[in-house]
Structure 1
Amino acid sequence: MILRNHKKALLTVFIATAVSGAVVTDAFAQARSADRSEQRERRGGKAAKAEVLYPDATRKEPALKSSPKLGKQLQKLVDSYNDEKFPETLAEATEILGNPAANEYDKSLASQLASQAAYQTDDTATAKKYLQQVLDNNGLDNNGHYQSMLMLAQLQLQDDDKAEQAQGLTLLDKYFAESGSKKPEELIIKGQALYQLERYNEAIPVLQEAIAASPEPKDQWNQLLMAAYSEGGQIGEAVKAAEALAAKNPNDKKAQLNLASMYSQADQMDKAGAVLDKLRASGQLTEEREYKQLYSIYANTENKEKEVISVINEGLEKGILKPDHQVYLALAQSYYYSEPQQVDKAIEAWQKAAPLSPTGETYLNLARVLHSEGKIPQAKEAARQAKAKGGLKNAADADKIINLK
């Protein structure tokens, strides 16, 4: 569940606090001459300060300002980025990074904007390279520095390479340790990463912390926690999470389907069936897989043959269920084992299922039922069909029926 190909989502945190036009302009304003600042103050105006995002950070912010020689170049860099002229941004950043007069602040700012320009042009590898340079040059304030660190960690985590993912998780831990951040929307990134790396029991406390820290946790966070419980073998906790989410969103079909799935995994088939049947009664089951899930739950619950029959016939009538081998086989078995037994309808369903089977096993089962009902000629014909179709586990059973006198 790590973000992949979701550029807007990945950049939301970073751009809103680090490289939007307003903040970049403010960062650049720090590098303007003292004389210019004094002129503003004499006019009674002061440069707006960016919000301090990391009041608990352990890093001491550098007191660097832009080199006076690079003022025009930096402004041109910022303007090209704000105008979304990303190739120009990259070219100007390269010039600044190669300029011997550039100090750590100049290089950090150039790398920061170059990383964003590269990312916007789908060059993730180059974006990561420049983000690392931001950290190595160490010239930005805490806002820019730690937002660059967070974005680099995210890009590493979304890489398919396991070693790269491990680096991303290590960097993410460093981010939390140094920045002092406990923001739920950032904690969820770590929980999501641990889940993606199949470290479910490590993901659970992180996800719990994120949810507890948020006044309005997103439903997707609760779903992720529920999935982590389930994959981590904590089915009871997964059920509790699913119940809480379903209770919070009684009209949310997805939440109800998730609850039914959790009940099924917990072997609470009666509860799973009740949830799905309620959706069916309200007309909310609209997909084949949903009908199959419901009749399969009933088929695996004692004394629910009547319900299986009802669900399958309704699904077929509505055209939601396809008339395939699996559906007709389940219908045949439910008719045959129902109370009272409905043998004729079971035979009819088996006759529809048998031609659709990949092997002759269904024909052979039909032959056995016909034989037990005393319908010998029909039983022999079904047995012959079974042998003709092939794939029998025990062809001798078919021969016995064929050779009846």
Structure 2
Amino acid sequence: MISRSHKQVLLSVLIATVLGGAVVADAAAQARSSDRSGNERRGRDSARAEVLYPEATREEPKAKASSKMGGKLQKLFAAYNKDDFEQTRTLAEEIIAADSANEYDKAVANQLASQAAYNLDDSAAAKQYLEQAVALNQLDNNGHLQALLMLAQLQLQDEQYAEGLANLDKYFAESGSQKPEELVIKGQALYQTEKYAEAIPVLKAAIDASSDPKDNWNQLLMAAYSEAGQTGEAVKEAEALAARNPADKKAQLNLASMYMQADQMDKAAAVMDALRTTGQLTEEREYKQLYSIYANTENKERDVIAVINEGLSNGILKPDYQVYLALAQSYYYSDQIPQAIEAWQNAAPLSKDGETYLNLARVLHSEDRIPEAKQAARDALAKGVRNPADANKIINLK
């Protein structure tokens, strides 16, 4: 399984981009043209923004700015275009509160206020403005649907998963969009809510729809397969990623982890050892992962020994209890008893109880090193063991 911390690193929620300039320009043109008698239609048509959603199912409203608010809307857009976000928000609030403003005026004001709040790092206010802009349902498809998408993204960012997913579903239903970068947002949200089986087809659709899918999309799909228990598919994704990025250490480590989950220890070891021989294992956890793979594979005791001794000699592995214990066991099962005893002697003082001392006493006894065996048994009793009689039996040897 993928750890929660890894999920958060791998799967940080995508931040919405601000509404496109074309959308703002279209609304601004309406504000300007509403002040020009007889020129409303011509002014609006000439400034019509590019249609971003040609497959939209939402019926676009025919709303326009009121004549009374035209001047205020022009000032609002002027402030926004100068990146004066404090002034943008102030002017937008005035329009929202004005009795003479119609619903379209208020929708546009909320739209611009959301952008200002977002740029001022006020995500909570941005969401409120976006909610009002969407609820008023007066913007053209470009503005309305982008507002809906941004609202969903901000909700997901704030872990409001139910609300964010509901708005994403509404967005896809109304926009007809199949843009891969937007599908990934939904796939990611489903993954974060542990709906792994639902996330898989959405992520696959995003990857298939993209001419250049990002590697982190494939990593997310791999993780979804893994969490859904589809280990074979997860391995295939990991292999594909590693093949595309042979020099990417992270991709190789992910592949090794997937092989381990699939209980393909030989393959996992081969990947990790290739990294070791090229000097790419630079962290303690990586050395521990490799010697653990060998420790869980038959007849690989000498490989465990080689990896641990290398890690200790280069200072990457810390000489802790688990390291010495694995080293002792590997020496013991490869019939290198003196080395095993030395490793157990290093491990025993670091143990939380006396069981390791007791094991050391037994081995020393089997090697006829009786005085040392008795001392190890006394040390075992001093640290505490489950069955003191076993230690006393060695201590009382004649």
Taking structure 2 as the reference length, the TM-score comes to: 0.93
User: Which residue identity is paired with 2:349?
Assistant: P
1:105 counterpart residue number: 104
| 1:5-404 equivalence runs, <5 A | 10-12=15-17, 14-15=18-19, 17=20, 20=21, 23-33=23-33, 35=36, 47=46, 49-160=48-159, 164-338=160-334, 341-390=335-384, 392-404=385-397
Pairwise CA distance, 1:102: 1.2
Greater CA deviation, 268-277 or 113-122?
113-122
In the alignment, the residues of structure 2 paired with residue 158 and residue 252 of structure 1 have an alpha-carbon distance, to the nearest angstrom, of 28
- Structure 2 residues not aligned, in runs of 5+: 1-6
**1:31 aligns to what SS in structure 2?**
helix
Contact conserved, 1:246 with 1:255, CA < 8 A, in 2? yes
User: Which residue identity is paired with 2:391?
Assistant: A
Q: CA 1:6–1:269 in 2, change beyond 3 Å: closer, same or farther?
A: closer
Contact conserved, 1:2 with 1:193, CA < 8 A, in 2? no
Q: CA 1:37–1:376 in 2, change beyond 3 Å: closer, same or farther?
A: farther
Contact conserved, 1:3 with 1:158, CA < 8 A, in 2? no
Q: Give CA-to-partner distance per residue, 1:255-307, whole Å, 9 cap, x none.
A: 10000000000000000000000010111110000000000000000000010
Contact conserved, 2:23 with 2:142, CA < 8 A, in 1? no
Q: Aligned residues, how many?
A: 390
Pairwise CA distance, 1:125: 2.1
Pairwise CA distance, 1:389: 1.5
Q: Give CA-to-partner distance per residue, 1:294-328, whole Å, 9 cap, x none.
A: 00000000000010001001101110000101101
In the alignment, the residues of structure 2 paired with residue 6 and residue 269 of structure 1 have an alpha-carbon distance, to the nearest angstrom, of 30
**1:102 aligns to what SS in structure 2?**
coil
In the alignment, the residues of structure 2 paired with residue 26 and residue 130 of structure 1 have an alpha-carbon distance, to the nearest angstrom, of 19
Greater CA deviation, 125-134 or 188-197?
125-134
In the alignment, the residues of structure 1 paired with residue 37 and residue 338 of structure 2 have an alpha-carbon distance, to the nearest angstrom, of 95
Greater CA deviation, 301-310 or 169-178?
169-178
In the alignment, the residues of structure 2 paired with residue 3 and residue 170 of structure 1 have an alpha-carbon distance, to the nearest angstrom, of 24
- Structure 1 residues not aligned, in runs of 5+: none
Q: CA 1:237–1:3 in 2, change beyond 3 Å: closer, same or farther?
A: closer
Q: CA 1:265–1:177 in 2, change beyond 3 Å: closer, same or farther?
A: same
In the alignment, the residues of structure 2 paired with residue 49 and residue 3 of structure 1 have an alpha-carbon distance, to the nearest angstrom, of 41
**1:186 aligns to what SS in structure 2?**
helix
Greater CA deviation, 305-314 or 92-101?
92-101
Pairwise CA distance, 1:141: 1.1
User: Which residue identity is paired with 2:341?
Assistant: I
Pairwise CA distance, 1:47: 4.6
Q: CA 1:207–1:395 in 2, change beyond 3 Å: closer, same or farther?
A: same
Q: Give CA-to-partner distance per residue, 1:353-388, whole Å, 9 cap, x none.
A: 111111111111111110111111000001111111
Greater CA deviation, 69-78 or 214-223?
69-78
**1:358 aligns to what SS in structure 2?**
coil
Taking structure 1 as the reference length, the TM-score comes to: 0.91
In the alignment, the residues of structure 2 paired with residue 33 and residue 3 of structure 1 have an alpha-carbon distance, to the nearest angstrom, of 48
In the alignment, the residues of structure 1 paired with residue 241 and residue 307 of structure 2 have an alpha-carbon distance, to the nearest angstrom, of 26
User: Which residue identity is paired with 1:289?
Assistant: R
Contact conserved, 2:273 with 2:290, CA < 8 A, in 1? yes
Pairwise CA distance, 1:248: 1.0
In the alignment, the residues of structure 2 paired with residue 220 and residue 298 of structure 1 have an alpha-carbon distance, to the nearest angstrom, of 29
Root-mean-square deviation (Å):
2.3
Q: CA 1:36–1:279 in 2, change beyond 3 Å: closer, same or farther?
A: farther
In the alignment, the residues of structure 2 paired with residue 176 and residue 346 of structure 1 have an alpha-carbon distance, to the nearest angstrom, of 63
Pairwise CA distance, 1:253: 0.6
Pairwise CA distance, 1:119: 2.1
**2:146 aligns to what SS in structure 1?**
helix
Contact conserved, 2:32 with 2:74, CA < 8 A, in 1? no
In the alignment, the residues of structure 2 paired with residue 224 and residue 212 of structure 1 have an alpha-carbon distance, to the nearest angstrom, of 14
In the alignment, the residues of structure 1 paired with residue 270 and residue 306 of structure 2 have an alpha-carbon distance, to the nearest angstrom, of 14
User: Which residue identity is paired with 2:386?
Assistant: K
**1:10 aligns to what SS in structure 2?**
coil
